[in-house]
Amino acid sequence: MGNTAELIADGRAILGIEFGSTRIKAVLIDEQHNPIASGDHVWENRLEEGFWTYHDDEIWAGLQDSYVNLKKDVESKYGVRLTKLAAMGFSAMMHGYLAFDREDQLLVPFRTWRNSTTGEAAEELSRLFAYNIPQRWSIAHLYQAVLNKEEHVSDIAFFTTLAGYIHWKVTGEKVLGVGDASGMFPVDPKTRQYDAVMIDKFEQQIADRHLPWHLADILPEIRLAGEEAGRLTEAGARLIDPTGELEAGVRVAPPEGDAGTGMVATNSVKQRTGNVSAGTSVFAMIVLEKELSTYYPQIDMVTTPDGSLVAMVHANNCTSDLNAWVGLCGEVLDAFGVSVSGDELYGTLYRKALEADPDCGGLLSYGFLSGENIMNCNEGRPLFVRTPESRFTLANFMRTHLYASFGALKVGMDLLLQKEQIQIDAIYGHGGIFKTKGVAQNFLAAALDTPVSVMETAGEGGPWGMALLAAYLVHHAEGESLEDYLANKVFAASEGLVVAPEPKDVEGFRAFIDRFQKGIGMEQTAGQVL
């Protein structure tokens, strides 16, 4: 404890902050990359005028609250004040749309990745580029605004992601890590910059609009992991810590998306490795040995934070509906005067699912709070369905919702594993759904028919991954790759639980996903009539 207090006081600790969908979390690490303190802030997106958004003041209030909670944790544990850092970095949910004018004013409220309002733009751009452009990508949001003839479009001087916005405001640098940038606009894996041919095609596509900007001029500049991306300004330090205690001048790593930090946090930036990050949304990132034979609407092509090609299967919905049902069970207990902790509630219900029929007894769930592109659902309507013959037990009910959390992901991953015959040596899972050992991890292994590892550090997730990228910025040796840095200096002694798929669960998940795909018309209709 004394050594840690001295490290913090000397300004040798490193900070990662990630803006997730429901939580903003700050994680402080030591020189051995161990988490030593944390702080968080809970927030929630809102649907306003047809768009999922967070208000600008919520972004900064959330950042400050997570940081002040981190400071409190530091002082409580070590008896010192957090005033200086060796390095820091910011990450956030990828994609979305934050557009600014020449006076740096936000032109329209932040449009998050969760919106499914860009179908026309995504379809046109995918055809134009012969490259999958999902609805949530920043370029799809921009082009849809062009197609809609929105007034703000002619005033755009810069647009970026949430991580890029925060980084810009605290450093003055309009840059973005390559992984996050690859979710704004396609990146050429050879140059590790925006694809020049596709930029030209886009310019030709909008030429008749006579807009006063060029795409290359309004995109953030790309930085690779380990490259300098700016330093914390005095104004930036006050944005984070209004008390004035945080010192400026801190080196700041390139801002990244939650996909990239998930890869780093699970040591899966190497080819033939992958990870599954499960939270409000769920996505699998598979680092490829070569490009795919064709493009698929269900698969994004992005990059690792150091620019390697990645196939990304992203489902908009994962644990939200599952959490709602667990919360309802908690309310039932409260009504009977029974008090249990959140960990006990989740753990008990999750473990109950292990007693269920492998195919969930014929039950079916769609946990879609928002649209789900993989399943061709433009709007979300959480739906639970059973037949008179279904075995409606608590165990089957819980397994159904856990399976459904990975349902859309399974549909997309089958394209990689079956059609493209992609080889994967290791899959790593991280996120709160894996906290109860041997449940969601087992079900994911069954879904992918592949062994799944969950490391002891998996619960730290994206903010820890961002802190590791900041550590790589200041501590990597000349010529040392991110892959080698993680393998040799971060994860060399890490232990993890590896679960192989159980044949009966593999068959059970296949039966469930067959039912899941056959019944999707119910979910699509629900979005139209409710």
| Residues linked to residue 42 through DSSP beta bridges, in sequence order | 23
Q: What is the CATH number of domain 257-314+427-503?
A: 3.30.420.40
Number of H helices, E strands in the chain: 19, 23
CB-based contact 460:261 (threshold 8 Å)? no
Residue 305 to residues 257, 266, 276, Cα–Cα distance (Å): 9, 13, 16
The two tokens of residue 132 are 């999958």
| Residues linked to residue 251 through DSSP beta bridges, in sequence order | 87, 231
pTM for the model:
0.83
Angle at alpha carbon of residue 257, lines to 251 and 258, rounded to 5° = 110
Domain limits, the chain: 257-314+427-503, 320-405+514-529
Residue whose pair of structure tokens reads 């007894």 in the numeric block: 361
Residue whose pair of structure tokens reads 């927030």 in the numeric block: 43
CB-based contact 36:29 (threshold 8 Å)? yes
Amino acid present at 497? L
- Could you give the CA distance from residue 197 to residue 199 in angstroms, rounded to a whole number? 5
294 burial (CB, 10 Å; 0-12 / 13-18 / 19+) is exposed
Could you list the beta-strand ranges (E) of 446-504.
452-455, 496-499
User: Tens digit of pLDDT per residue, the chain (530 long)?
Assistant: 679 999 999 999 999 999 999 999 999 999 999 999 999 999 999 999 999 999 999 999 999 999 999 999 999 999 999 999 999 999 999 999 999 999 999 999 999 998 989 999 999 999 999 999 999 999 999 999 999 999 999 999 999 999 999 999 999 999 999 999 999 999 998 999 999 999 999 999 999 999 999 999 999 999 999 999 999 999 999 999 999 999 999 999 999 999 899 899 889 999 999 989 888 889 899 999 988 999 898 898 999 999 999 999 989 999 999 999 999 999 999 999 999 999 999 999 999 999 999 999 999 999 999 999 899 998 999 999 999 999 999 999 999 999 999 999 999 999 999 999 998 988 998 888 998 999 999 999 999 999 999 877 655 678 999 999 999 999 999 999 999 999 999 998 776 789 999 999 999 999 999 999 999 999 999 999 99
Contacts of residue 142, defined as CB under 8 A and 6 or more positions apart, other chains included, come to: 97, 99, 121, 153, 156, 159
